[in-house]
Amino acid sequence: MTDGPLIVQSDKTLLLEIDHAQSVECRQAIAPFAELERAPEHIHTYRITPLGLWNARAAGHDAESVVDTLLKYSRYPVPHALLIDVAETMSRYGRLQLHMHPSHGLVLQATDVNVLEEVLRSKKVIPLIGKRLDEQTVVVHPSERGHLKQVLLKLGWPAEDLAGYVDGEAHPIALSDSAWTLRPYQQEAVDGFWHGGSGVVVLPCGAGKTIVGAAAMATAGATTLILVTNTVSARQWKAELLKRTTLTEEEIGEYSGARKEIRPVTIATYQVMTTRRQGVYAHLELFDARDWGLIIYDEVHLLPAPVFRFTADIQARRRLGLTATLVREDGMEGEVFSLIGPKRYDAPWKDIEAQGYIAPAECVEVRVSLPEAERRAYSIAEAEDRYRMAATTRSKNRIVEHLVNKHPEDHVLVIGQYLDQLDELGEHLGVPIITGATPVKERERLFQSFRDGETRVLVVSKVANFSVDLPEAGVAIQVSGTFGSRQEEAQRLGRVLRPKGDKRKAHFYTIVTRDTVDADYAAHRQRFLAEQGYAYNIIDADDLLYGPKSD
């Protein structure tokens, strides 16, 4: 028995003692293969899952290194059955491999014939394959490369894709030789992606994911299709590419609701890609419009189902997913693994903060109580109405006003989910509002006014969650969210993590109504950030407004 910070249990849960001297080191060591489930004050609970182990295997971690990590940090003897299970689960990855055969094209090859026999009897596999060449090899229909990987993952035999990629149409792209260089972790992310061929890079908000994308494009030297969340994001990508690379205005096209330009580098929105006319996705042919050498999925954790389906057909293209958190509340992380690729690089947020590339942040949860009349109405409301009632209580308005006034020198974002709440806050504070209904030109004007310091406070809906570059923002105040979304919480904190010139802290406030589902959802939302090492200080609204009560 050692004095390690970890308790490893036979049900594949790991209990990490946060106050232990080795807790940070241990958290970083288990992060590649374990997922955080609960994060109260002193003991955090992680779980080892097959997908986590296969992601680790694809990233180059073998079973021996995972077992060594568990043995090194565990306070008590690690259950022998768990160690065997870890080794056997990880050994499943790669027993089936996709290759390009010189005569027959795409094939599925087995290092274990019995595994091949097993999967070939699956009704879901049969339509995706052709003739059997020998006892270890079967032909795969090229268009089914992605679908087959999805099916095999669900059968518990994830295939290692070694079939390679077409180079696509060459197009010269280089990083501009201005006064900047890739940060070490950005170079590591690009190298990890390129060596793996396709996959996902996970970096904190504000850590320069767009620059990683630009460097990947320069490495590929080929035509590139970039998929982004909205038109504002598309234009920010274009501006960044013009600044960071040798690409010219004429080489970059925007494919959105407003424009339909197809150029060597084309930036398209998920929204236009998933627009249906008479039941048909009219714009999916964009994937075939050029011989793309690289496809980049920005905010890959938001990838819509129709784009997932089409991604299955373009497995011969190199694919790079960029995100701050691979968490998907719909449980489709396995789809990302199968169709975009495994996690190729993942930098802990606190590591990047320690290097000075993102701002340190103070997270505070302010708890308010419902007034008596609202509490009574909440108690008899239908379950589906309760979150909105709790999240939008007017009791939050004076807290927002107090916090805005508390930071007179900072640029402040007030972020929420419900438009009527945001309208009321905008009016209460006398500041502009940006929602999905705000025209793109007006959004861009207001964001620029915020960057220039003409506007100090903005009220924004979830349109500002993703890919909006507001480096001046130093304070975020969250009044409501998309229920218990962990990735949204991470994105919203990310709005204020750009490093500040005077090295000051960022501040992230979330205002929560106690004794309601608002508080339950808040606890769930905070899980991902807790895994990254952020702690929430909880204060009472009255203490914030009037000071702590004396005894």
DSSP assignment of 223-246 equals: -EEEEESSHHHHHHHHHHHHHHBS
- The C-alpha atoms of residue 87 and residue 290 are separated, in whole angstroms, by 43
pLDDT digits (tens, 9 = 90+) for 197-243: 899 998 888 888 999 999 999 999 999 999 998 888 899 899 999 99
The residue out of 92, 112, 147 marking a domain boundary is 92
- The C-alpha atoms of residue 282 and residue 389 are separated, in whole angstroms, by 39
Give SS3 for 429.
helix
Domain annotation covers residue 174? no
What does the DSSP 8-state code read for residue 142?
G
- The C-alpha atoms of residue 206 and residue 417 are separated, in whole angstroms, by 22
Same domain, 328 and 464: no
pLDDT digits (tens, 9 = 90+) for 299-350: 888 888 788 778 877 888 999 999 887 776 667 778 888 889 888 888 778 7
Rounded to 5 degrees, φ, ψ at 438 are -70, 125
Domain annotation covers residue 175? no
pLDDT for the residue numbered 337: 86
Q: At what angle do helices 80-92 and 63-73 cross, to 10 degrees?
A: 150
Same domain, 76 and 111: no
Same domain, 381 and 451: yes
Over range 373-389, report the average pLDDT: 90
pLDDT digits (tens, 9 = 90+) for 520-540: 888 888 877 877 778 888 999
* Rg of the chain over all Cα atoms, to the nearest angstrom: 25
Nearest to 351 by CA among 536, 535, 532: 532
Q: Tokens representing 24?
A: 């940070």
Q: How confident is the model at residue 286 (pLDDT cuts 50, 70, 90)?
A: confident
Q: Checking DSSP bridges between strand 13-17 and strand 43-48, what pairing results, if any? A: antiparallel
Q: What is the DSSP string of 171-230?
A: ----B--SS----HHHHHHHHHHHHHSSEEEE--TTS-HHHHHHHHHHHHTB-EEEEESS
Same domain, 259 and 346: yes
- The C-alpha atoms of residue 499 and residue 439 are separated, in whole angstroms, by 29
Give SS3 for 296.
strand
Same domain, 153 and 196: no
- The C-alpha atoms of residue 335 and residue 150 are separated, in whole angstroms, by 7
Nearest to 486 by CA among 519, 525, 533: 525
Q: Could you write out the three-class secondary structure of 466-511?
A: CCCCCCCEEEEEECCCCCCCHHHHHHHHHCCCCCCCCCCCEEEEEE
Q: What is the identity of the amino acid at 254? A: E
Domain that holds residue 538: 359-546
Please state, for a pLDDT cut of 70, what percent of the chain lies above it. Answer: 96
Q: Taking a C-beta distance cutoff of 8 angstroms, is the pair 217, 224 a contact?
A: yes
Q: Taking a C-beta distance cutoff of 8 angstroms, is the pair 16, 44 a contact?
A: yes
Range ranked top by mean pLDDT from 104-118, 293-307, 346-360, 467-481: 104-118
Same domain, 118 and 224: no
- The C-alpha atoms of residue 182 and residue 469 are separated, in whole angstroms, by 18
- The C-alpha atoms of residue 41 and residue 330 are separated, in whole angstroms, by 27
Same domain, 419 and 541: yes
Domain annotation covers residue 191? yes
pLDDT digits (tens, 9 = 90+) for 152-191: 999 999 999 999 898 999 999 999 877 678 999 999 999 9
Domain annotation covers residue 517? yes
Q: Taking a C-beta distance cutoff of 8 angstroms, is the pair 273, 309 a contact?
A: no
pLDDT for the residue numbered 40: 64
Enumerate the β-bridge partners of residue 108. Answer: 98, 138
Please determine, for residue 360, whether its predicted confidence score (pLDDT) is greater than 60. Answer: yes
pLDDT for the residue numbered 484: 63
Domain annotation covers residue 177? no
Domain annotation covers residue 441? yes
pLDDT for the residue numbered 351: 80
Same domain, 113 and 157: yes
The residue out of 44, 75, 92 marking a domain boundary is 92
Same domain, 451 and 374: yes
pLDDT for the residue numbered 179: 62
Please determine, for residue 549, whether its predicted confidence score (pLDDT) is greater than 70. Answer: no
Same domain, 471 and 411: yes
Over range 81-91, report the average pLDDT: 95
Q: How confident is the model at residue 403 (pLDDT cuts 50, 70, 90)?
A: very high
Q: How confident is the model at residue 413 (pLDDT cuts 50, 70, 90)?
A: very high
Q: Taking a C-beta distance cutoff of 8 angstroms, is the pair 188, 345 a contact?
A: yes
What angle (nearest 5°) sits at the alpha carbon of residue 60, between those of residues 297 and 53? 80
- CATH code, 209: 3.40.50.300
Over range 247-264, report the average pLDDT: 92
> What's the number of CA atoms in the CB half-sphere (13 Å) around residue 421?
24
What does the buried/exposed string (b/e) look like for 32-69 if buried means 16 or more CB atoms within 10 Å of the residue's CB? bbbbbeebeeeebbbebebbbbbbbbbbebebeebbeb
Q: What is the identity of the amino acid at 352? A: I
Domains in the chain, number = 4
pLDDT digits (tens, 9 = 90+) for 15-62: 999 889 998 899 889 988 988 777 666 888 899 999 999 989 988 899
Same domain, 289 and 222: yes
Please determine, for residue 465, whether its predicted confidence score (pLDDT) is greater than 70. Answer: no
The residue out of 352, 377, 408 marking a domain boundary is 352
Rounded to 5 degrees, φ, ψ at 406 are -70, -25
| Least confident interval from 1-15, 338-352, 358-372, 426-440 | 338-352
Same domain, 324 and 418: no
Nearest to 349 by CA among 36, 87, 108, 117: 36
Nearest to 363 by CA among 216, 533, 519: 533
